Structure 1
Amino acid sequence: MSELLATFAQALQLPLERLPATSFPGMGALPSTFAVSDLASASIGAAGLAVADLLRQQGVPAGSLSVDRRLASFWFASSLRPMGWAPPPPWDPIAGDYATRDGWIRLHTNAPHHRAAALQVLGPCEDRDSVAKAVSQWDAEALERAVVEANGCAAQMLQLAQWAGHAQGQAVAGEPLVQLEQFDAQGVQGWRGSRAQPLAGIKVLDLTRILAGPVATRFLAAMGADVLRIDPPGWEEPSLAPEVTLGKRCARLDLHDSLDRISFERLLAQADIFVHGYRADALERLGFGAERVRQLNPGLIDISLNAYGWTGPWRNRRGFDSLVQMSTGIAAAGQQWRQADKPVPLPVQALDMATGYLAAAAAINGLRERLASGRGSAARLSLARTAKALIDHGQVTTDLPLAAETGADLASQIEHTPWGPAQRLTPPLALAGTPMQWACPAGQLGASPASFS
């Protein structure tokens, strides 16, 4: 685990020698051929070290830092425990893995337009059985290509060695884990935070959806930031909103509407941190590419996430954690480890989660740099590059299983959400004097005005 944390700290340019040592109490691991619990603990630890470095810069010596690996593992699955209600199922009925003539493919159909794209290729299918029958007539690579060309989301299962030799795999291997860039100085601004809330007074514009970006901004909210999430009209995440909107206000804007574009430009100009998870070319096509964003806000800390990396033939490809696991060989390695007859993914959406915490760390680093020099900055991360870090860490023999969750793992206060009461797991990160805490409960998308508080 210390090896992964050192890898993350180096990628984030964190000065480990000037920061508190991080301990990882707890035993056990999520069941996987990859070190998923180590990944969870190390990525959350990296975000905590970024906070400690910010406090150090401001003359506030950080206290001890620890990450409970058991709680970190649980948080990588879900932090919310509803009381008397349940969110909708996380997957569309036809989403999942299917056998083709020559292998396996995963279809991601949670969004209605992605489902429509898959069925446009496969033909009219009423249920999983009819989808399976249609898929079985295809070769995996040909079906993947057809669904992607129809603007859908699919990934054939590749072996680790196949991905290493693939053009996109080679492109991702040549990218840094966190791509950092800084811009000309704009004038030093004062710190408005405190030990208890290091990001107090910081405005975060959140243009992210499932799942890495929302995890990043949830962590920033836990450190006191004012997070405003923007979604387009009609977009919903019924299974995820209770999990990831904690501490945020959520509004809607249509970036194709002239008046909403004006509102969005105003928010960009006011923001300190901008986190977005659009594909590499999507914001450019909307007229909000990097150059325009810097014109609106030269001192902005610009954090961008995508699925398959920032170079190579797939840089603009739609993707999600489960698809990246298929492409990069993780699901195939799991199948071999389990000696199963189908793909075996990681036990949680670990690529999303880890990338989210690393993105939060990059945002906090950008703030630290701006406080020192006034310079704006940009950082780029991708699920595929996080997958490489996990794969490079090596396959493992699963440790002792994690002890089962108990009532003692839950925070004592009740969170009153629009869906009903709930409890959260105790946060896994403990930084002395700097608790993970949120100013408001999870809320529905579009429930707030499009303005910072």
Structure 2
Amino acid sequence: MESNGDASDRSNFRAMDTVRNIWTGLDLPPQALHSLRLDETGHELASSYKLSHLAQSSIALSALAAALNDSHHNSTSVAAVSVPLEHASAEFATEHLYFLDEKPAENKWGPLGGLHKTKDEYVRIHDNLINHRLALLRILGLSDESTREQVAEKILNWKATDLEQAGIDNKAVIYALRSEDEWNATPQAKAVPDFSISINKISSAGERGYPSRMPLGSDRCLRGLRIVELSRIIAAPVAGKTLAAHGADVLWVTSPTLPDRPMTDIDVNRGKRAISIDLNNPKDKEALYELIKDADVFLQSYRPGSLSRRGLSPSGLIKIRPGLICANLAAWGTQGPWKENRGFDSMVQTASGMNVSEAQHFDPSSATPAKPLPLQALDHASGYLLAAGIAAAVYKRAVEGGSWQVDVTLAGTMKYLKSLGQLPGKEGFREGTKLPKELVTEDMMETKESGYGLLKAVRHSARVEGKQPGWDFMPKPPGLYEPKWL
């Protein structure tokens, strides 16, 4: 079953309408929606886009899907679920809001990235990972020690779309700044589906029901569910983190051969146990296969095709473990000419017209070409939607058996967010709207010891009656946990 939804105008939706729209699009039991309580009052995030709406509804979807599994497993009614608007909005920026040993989170942007003027327009560069930074410098014919000023000077010699294509061809992450009309004219825009989650049954192999290791009457909705997670940066890690908050045992697989972002990982990998596996090492690869044999979910966010070449495609995975749920997070979509391209939240905002439109709403008289959203909304929403999709697939497997595939893309989330409409004029920046750091209150925070120091961070905003969503494990440097299930 694949849910494609529709292309209807959702500009009159409230957060509850969005939950209902996606829930019914996934063909989940409609009576469960009666258990959801959403109070949509409170301060909202400053943006022309309905970001607080998206935060509250996507987090609510993930929590309600977890509660549905608990209900089905225990043959009880679905527990009441609630998500406060302001808390959800703050949780959408949690990687920027934590404190480590009382020091605030560090800036996570690369030294060369951001918006740059080209010969004709603008491009945005993403260089948070060193391999992408070096690829950029090679394209520009610069040394590894080049400065931002030298990069900016070289970029002035390029047309925006030419540099974008050079980035695509040479493993850099560079995208041209487009207006809405320019984005809509691209083949990739036409390939992005109108619905934000796709769930397909890919094999009849796989038993019905829940694993015996998932206890009845547990303190968390998904206690005992096993997830192997191969992910990077924010979106897919948020999915794993969310499922961990509902009790899943999540093994986050890192590689000693790939660059990392430890200051981001500290937050988004709460609740997980980080293990180090080198897929180029036959012994390590076999250890991963052994973990997959006893897993329920394989969650990954590497560029489409990269794991398939290592035998870890959905078809290959379900041979290792029939009944597995294969969950994928991609940037641009599962169809279209950009489907295998690298991409991040900021790049999708840039290329899709969002940054241009946001700037025009913020100040129509300004010459500022682009205004980014106040947080990585596409990353976070995609993470919660993917968690919801995974929980939905767990339920479907329990009801009818089989192996399942779940797909969520940043571009699909972007398209859904756009379908909710924008606030007119400067309404989204009116007095009373706030930036993420202005929304956080002490009662939204929790403080626990981690492998990096004392971590104070935003706790999970979803509440499930009779349950205790939260995280059992705090982050430690990769490799300190053994590659074993609890």
TM-score, normalization by structure 1: 0.95
Query: Mind listing any 5+ residue stretches in structure 1 that lack a counterpart?
Result: none
**1:216 aligned partner:** 239
| Structure 2 residue aligned with 1:85 | 103
- 1:8 and 2:22 matched: yes
Aligned pair 1:243/2:238, yes or no?
A: no
In the alignment, structure 1 residue 284 sits paired with structure 2 residue 339: no
What CA deviation, in whole Å up to 9, does each residue of 1:42-90 have, x standing for no partner?
1001111102221232323233221111111111111533342344420
CA contact (8 A) 1:87 1:238 kept: no
The range that moved more, 433-442 or 398-407, is 398-407
Conserved? CA contact 1:63–1:433, under 8 Å: yes
The structure 1 residue matched to 2:147, chosen from 107, 127, 134, is 127
1:118 aligns with 2:136: yes
Q: Secondary structure at the match of 1:414?
A: strand
In the alignment, is the contact (CA less than 8 A) between 2:129 and 2:260 conserved in 1? Answer: no
Q: In 1, distance between residues paired with 2:25 and 2:133?
A: 37
Of 254, 259, 265, 2:283 maps to 259
Query: Residue in 1 aligned with 2:65?
Result: 50
Task: Write the distance in 2 (CA, Å) between the matches of 1:353 and 1:5.
Answer: 16
- Secondary structure of 1:371 counterpart: helix
CA displacement 1:263-306 (0-9 Å, x = unmatched): 11111111111100012211112222222111101100111110
Residues 195, 416 of structure 2: 8 Å contact kept: no
> What is the Cα deviation at residue 406 of structure 1?
5.7
Determine helix, strand or coil for the equivalent of 2:403. Answer: strand
In the alignment, is residue 17 of structure 1 matched against residue 31 of structure 2? yes
Whether contact under 8 Å (1:236, 1:445) holds in the other structure is no
Q: Is the 8 A contact 1:241 1:445 kept in 2?
A: no
Q: Deviations over 1:175-205 (max 9, x none)?
A: 6421211120432344524352121111100
Query: Which moved further from structure 2: 34-43 or 431-440?
Result: 431-440
- 393-402 or 135-144: which moved more? 393-402
The reply on whether 1:108 has 2:115 as its aligned counterpart is no
**Alignment partner of 1:94 out of 112, 119, 122:** 112
The residue that corresponds to 2:460 in the other structure is 427
Aligned residue among 412, 422, 427 for 1:385: 412
Where 2:200 maps in the other structure, the secondary structure is strand
> For residue 68 of structure 1, what is the aligned residue in structure 2?
84
Alignment partner of 1:322 out of 331, 334, 346: 346
RMSD, aligned α-carbons: 1.9
The percentage of counterpart residues that share the same residue type is 28
Deviations 1:141-196 (A, max 9, x none): 001111221111111111112212210000014x6421211120432344524352
User: Which of residues 430, 436, 440 is equivalent to 2:469?
Assistant: 436
The normalised TM-score by structure 2 is 0.88
Could you tell me how far apart the structure 2 residues matched to 1:248 and 1:259 are?
Answer: 23
Structure 1 residues 262 and 275: CA distance shift in structure 2, 3 A: same
Decide whether aligned partners of structure 1 residues 120 and 423 sit closer, same or farther in structure 2, where only a CA change above 3 A counts: same
Name the structure 2 match of 1:227.
250
Which deviates more, 377-386 or 367-376? 367-376
Look up the equivalent residue of 2:421 and give its one-letter code.
G
**Structure 2 counterparts to residues 18-37 of structure 1, below 5 A:** 18-19=32-33, 20-37=35-52
CA contact (8 A) 1:25 1:66 kept: no
Q: Which runs of 5+ in 2 are unaligned?
A: 1-14
Q: Kindly indicate whether residue 382 of structure 2 is the aligned counterpart of residue 364 of structure 1.
A: no
User: Structure 1 residue 407: deviation in Å?
Assistant: 4.8
Give the paired residue count: 451
Counterparts in 2 of 1:344-423, with a 5 A limit?
344-396=371-423, 397-398=427-428, 400-402=432-434, 404-405=438-439, 407-411=441-445, 414-423=447-456
**Offset of 1:252 from its aligned partner?**
1.1
Superposed displacement of residue 101, structure 1: 1.7
Q: Distance in 1 between matches of 2:331 and 2:252?
A: 20
- Secondary structure at 1:282 match in 2: coil
CA distance 1:52–1:94, shift in 2 (3 Å): same
Opposite residue 148 of structure 1, the aligned amino acid is I
